[in-house]
């Protein structure tokens, strides 16, 4: 049985923008995904945030297109869509921080994991998740 974790947009930013400065915890995560030790769930909101940043900086989206194709083909990556089922789970949540953080936190609940890779301490303090952070 593999472990599961949800990743925040900050993880995608590191791999896309700071490939020479990727923290050790994220390098190990990538290795564990490749080896099948962990399955990562990428909420579409995280991908959308990366796309937004790329467009805002007037950069090409080609590398993101390539990454999405690679994620779709990986047996250890799940791209999770924001849909009505996620909203139904959100209806049972009584506290929030920011919308994109809540979507990521609720995605954890959807996949029965409490592990999230990111940098926002609200994942721990508001959503009671196990934050795997490099800061």
Residue ranges of domains in the chain: 3-132
**What pLDDT is attached to residue 7?**
97
- pLDDT tens figures, 39-80: 999 999 999 999 999 999 998 999 999 999 999 999 999 999
**What pLDDT is attached to residue 15?**
86
What's the number of CA atoms in the CB half-sphere (13 Å) around residue 75? 5
Residues in a beta bridge with 3: 38
- Which run of H or E residues covers position 48? helix 44-56
Q: Which fold has domain 3-132?
A: Rossmann fold (3.40.50)
**What pLDDT is attached to residue 2?**
58
């Amino acid at each position: 049985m593999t472990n599961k974790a949800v990743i925040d947009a900050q993880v995608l930013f590191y791999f896309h923008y700071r490939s020479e400065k990727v923290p050790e915890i994220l390098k190990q995560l990538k290795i564990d995904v490749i080896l099948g030790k962990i399955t990562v769930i990428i909420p579409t909101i995280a991908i959308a945030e990366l796309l937004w940043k790329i467009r805002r900086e007037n950069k090409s989206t080609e590398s993101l297109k390539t990454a999405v194709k690679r994620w779709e083909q990986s047996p250890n990556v799940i791209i999770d869509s924001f849909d009505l089922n996620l909203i139904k789970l959100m209806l049972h949540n009584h506290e929030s921080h920011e919308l994109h953080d809540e979507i990521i936190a609720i995605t954890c609940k959807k996949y029965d994991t409490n592990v999230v890779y990111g940098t926002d301490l609200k994942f721990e303090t508001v959503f009671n998740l196990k934050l795997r952070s490099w800061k």
